[in-house]
Structure formats: C-alpha cells, structure tokens
Structure 1
Amino acid sequence: MAIPCLCSMAPRGLAPNTRLNNGSMALIVVQNTSRTEFIKHLKRYTSVENQFNFPFVETYTVQEVKVQPRLKSGPDAKENTRLNAASAEGNYPWNIDGDLMKEASEVHIRVHPQLIDLYGVNTDDLESSQATCNCI
C-alpha cells in the first residue's frame, strides 16, 4: 500500500502508517492461518481496533519488494523449480489488483519517489489552514 486508503468502511485505513510523501509503502504479510482467523483480520479493518494485532500478520515499511512463487515441495521435487503457472487446476500464481497473471515469475514492486506532483502532498504542514475541501 502506498496510500492510507481511509474511508467510511475502513476508518483507520488499510495501511494507517502510510504517507504519500515519504517515499515508502506498507507491506502487509499474512502468514498461513485458518479461514476463520483471516476473516477476523479482515473484519478488524472496519473498526478502530488494530487490524495488525494478530500473530499471523506482519507489517513492514519498504521502498521495494520482490515476491517469488512458492517452490515445489515433496518427493518428486528433486531440484528447486518454480511452480508451473499452467497447473492442472488452472491456478495462476499471482492475482495483482484483480488481474490474474499467467507468468510464474517474480514480481518486483518499487516506489518511485517524486515521479509525479500530487496536489496536497504537504497537507501535514498545512493543518492550521482555514481552507476546506468537501470534494473527497
């Protein structure tokens, strides 16, 4: 997450400690857990409670991250080969922002600081301003 994503459904946002102007993003890692526990984590986003206060959730502040598909494991995986994207079940290794990616390669995500100018990037400095905006 490179933006906090504050809204009425997530009052603390999806990544509450993220800022638009600090050149970083939040990496939220959810380890293997039960479906029930994962749903508890998701429901916590709709409240003001800390949604990251679970033993299976880790958060990091990063400038870039590389993610690779899991390696095959088991008796027939004698060498470290990556998962085949065209598996018999039709699974794809990545779902990125709703798009299924067929390639089973690593994904490299990086913040490009100051690539574009954002209106209101210094809003932290202008909190005493009398101007208001109701368009958001």
Structure 2
Amino acid sequence: MAIPCLCSMAPRGLAPNTRLNNGSMALIVVRNTSRSEFIKHLKRYASVKNQFNFPFVETYAVQEVKIQPRTKIGHDTEENVYLHATSAEVNYPWNIDGDLMEGASEVHVRVHPQLINLYGVSIDELDDSKAMCSCL
C-alpha cells in the first residue's frame, strides 16, 4: 500500500501509517493462521481498533519488495527461518490488485517518489525537481 485508503468502511484506512510523500509503502504480511483468526483481522479494518495487533500480522515500511514463490526444503532453527528453493522454470499466477498476472515467476514492486504530482489536503509542498523512472 502506498496510500492510507481512508474510507467509511475502513476509518483508520488499510495502511494507516502510510503517507503519500515519504517515499515508502506499507508491506503487510499475514502469516499462516486459522480462517476465523484471519476474519477477525479483516473485521478490524471496519473499526477504529488496531487491525495489526495479531501475532500472525507483521507490517513494514519499505521502498521496494520482491516476492517469490517458495517450496519448503528445510528449516534453519538457528535463525528460525525457512530455507526455500524457487523454480525458475515454473510460472505462477499472481493476483495483484485484483488483476491476474501470469508468466512472472516473481513480482518486484518499487516506490517511485515524486513521479506524479499530487494535489489535495495535507499534501506537503516539495521542490520542483522532476523524478525519473528507469525501470519501465
């Protein structure tokens, strides 16, 4: 999420700590949990309670993120992380913002600060420097 997404259905927004002008986006990670616990998390978006106050939900402020599918091949107990292997030959379908993308074995999302001009309430003024995007 790169914008807070405030609305009447989510009074705190989907990513309440996100700002339009700080060059970052919110990465919200929901780990394996039961369906009922996940539904409790989703219902919190409609209230003013902290929707991230669950042991299976983590949030990070990031400038970019690369997501790859993984298959578990082991567990490193010293660092408490899963070792994984990715298949370069297999393409996985990704649901990105409601659109199904096929053909990519990984997804790379990056923030491009100041690439567009924003107008509105609570938008801090920035200098007139033009941002360039070299990834497209």
Q: Which runs of 4+ in 1 moved over 4 A?
A: none
- Write the deviation string for residues 48-101 of structure 1: whole angstroms up to 9, x where unpaired: 000000000000000000000122659xxxx9342844xxxxxx5411111122
Letter of the 2:21 partner, please give it: N
Q: Percent identity?
A: 82
Q: Which has the higher strand share?
A: 2
Distance in 2 (alpha carbons) for counterparts of 1:19 and 1:81:
34
**TM-score of the pair, normalised by structure 1:** 0.75
Unaligned runs of 5+ in 1: 86-91, 127-136
Match of 2:41 in 1: 41
Letter of the 1:119 partner, please give it: Y
**TM-score of the pair, normalised by structure 2:** 0.75
Match of 2:51 in 1: 51
SS in structure 2 of the partner of residue 41 of structure 1 = helix
Distance in 2 (alpha carbons) for counterparts of 1:103 and 1:36:
33
Match of 1:106 in 2: 106
Aligned residue-pair number: 115
Q: CA RMSD in A?
A: 2.4
Match of 1:89 in 2: none
SS in structure 2 of the partner of residue 65 of structure 1 = strand
Q: Is the 8 A contact 2:90 2:105 kept in 1?
A: no
Letter of the 1:31 partner, please give it: R
Larger radius of gyration: 1
- Write the deviation string for residues 3-49 of structure 1: whole angstroms up to 9, x where unpaired: 00000000000000000011100000000011110000000000000
